[in-house]
Amino acid sequence: MSDFEWVAVYTLLGGFVGFMSGLLGVGGGGILVPLLTSIFLYQGADIDNVVHLALGTSLACMIISSTASIRAHASKQNVSWAIFASMTPGIIVGAFITTHMATHINSLYLSIFFAFFMALIAGMMFFNWQPKTSATPTKLRDLIFVGTGIGTISALAAVGGGFLTISYLSYKNFPMRKAVGTSSAIGFPIAIAGTIGYMVSGWSKTTDDPHTFGFICVPAFLAISISSFIAAPYGAACAQKLSDMHLKKIFAAVSLALSLKMFLSFV
C-alpha cells in the first residue's frame, strides 16, 4: 500500500475510535492498540517493539480524542472536576514510571496482558458484575492511591484507565453518565504522562525509522488524532440517548472483540 492509502486507513480508524471514545468514555486506546499492532506488523515493524509502538501511538492519540470527549461531556455537566484534580497526581506518576518499565517487557507478554485485561472487562460488564457500592466518603489519600494504580495499568493496557475509573466511581455511587464523563477527563493526564514516557523510553530503539518519535508513529498519530477529534462529540451525543445497561453491553462487546484481536495477532 502507498503512504496515502495508509493515511486513509489511519483516518478511518481515527473516526471510529473518536466516536467510541465519546460514547464510552474510554479514551480510545483500547481500540487502537490491537488494531495498530496488526497494522504495524503488516508494515514490517520490529516484533519485539510493535506493542510498545502501538501503546505509545495510542496514548498520543488519546491526548486529542480525550480533549474532544472532555469538551462534549463537560458541556453536559458530566465531569467531576474535584475527582479529576485529586486523582491526576497519582495517575501521572504511575503512568510515567510504568512506561519505562514496559520497554523491558517482551511484546508477546504485553499483548497477553492486554488481551486478558480486555477479556476481564468484557466479562465483568456483560454479567453486570460490580462490587457493592460504598457509602463511605471519598478521601484524597484514596483517590491518589487509586489514581496511581489506574495510571500504572493504563500504561500497559491503554483502555485500563477508562474502565477502572468508571468501575471505581460506580462503586462510589456515581451515576453511569457522570462516571463516563469523569473517566474521559482522567484520560487526558493518562495520555500526557504515557506519551512522554513512551517517547523517552523508545528514543534509542526507533532511530532507524524517520516516521517515529520514540515509540510514537507520527503519521498514524496525526491522521488518527484529527479524525477522532471530529468524531468524538457524535459519540458523546449518542451516549446521552442510551441507557446505562446499553452502554455497558456495548462496552463488553467491544472489549471482547479487541481481546480476541490482540491475542490472534501473536498466534
The whole-angstrom separation of Cα 219 and Cα 80 is 34
In sequence order, what DSSP letters do the residues of 60-97 get, joined into one string? HHHHHHHHHHHHHHHTTT---HHHHHHHHHHHHHHHHH
Q: Is the pLDDT of residue 70 over 70?
A: yes
**pLDDT value at residue 247:** 72
**pLDDT value at residue 222:** 92
The whole-angstrom separation of Cα 202 and Cα 40 is 16
Q: Is the pLDDT of residue 189 over 70?
A: yes
**pLDDT value at residue 242:** 73
Number of domains in the chain: 1
230 to 59, 174, 205: CA distances (angstroms): 18, 28, 32
What are the tens digits of pLDDT across the range 100-156?
787 778 777 877 887 787 777 777 777 766 666 666 667 778 888 888 988 888 777
* Residue 43 φ/ψ, nearest 5 degrees: -80, -5
**pLDDT value at residue 230:** 85
249 versus 165: the higher-pLDDT residue is 165
The whole-angstrom separation of Cα 89 and Cα 234 is 30
* Residue 212 φ/ψ, nearest 5 degrees: -115, 155
Contacts of 143 (CB under 8 A, 6+ apart): 83, 86, 87, 90
Biggest CA pair distance of the chain: 57
Lowest mean pLDDT among 68-77, 99-108, 120-129, 213-222: 120-129
Q: What is the mean pLDDT of residues 224-233?
A: 84
Q: How confident is the model at residue 10 (pLDDT cuts 50, 70, 90)?
A: very high
- Residue from 70, 239, 78 nearest 169 by CA: 78
CB of 21 within 8 A of CB of 69? Answer: yes
- Residue 106, Ramachandran bin (φ over 0: left; ψ between -120 and 50: alpha; else beta): beta
Q: What is the mean pLDDT of the chain?
A: 80
Range of the domain at 136: 3-264
Q: What is the mean pLDDT of residues 49-65?
A: 85
Q: For residue 162, give the C-alpha cell.
A: 477508562
**pLDDT value at residue 221:** 93
Burial pattern 124-134, b for ≥16 Cβ within 10 A else e, equals bbeeeeeeeee
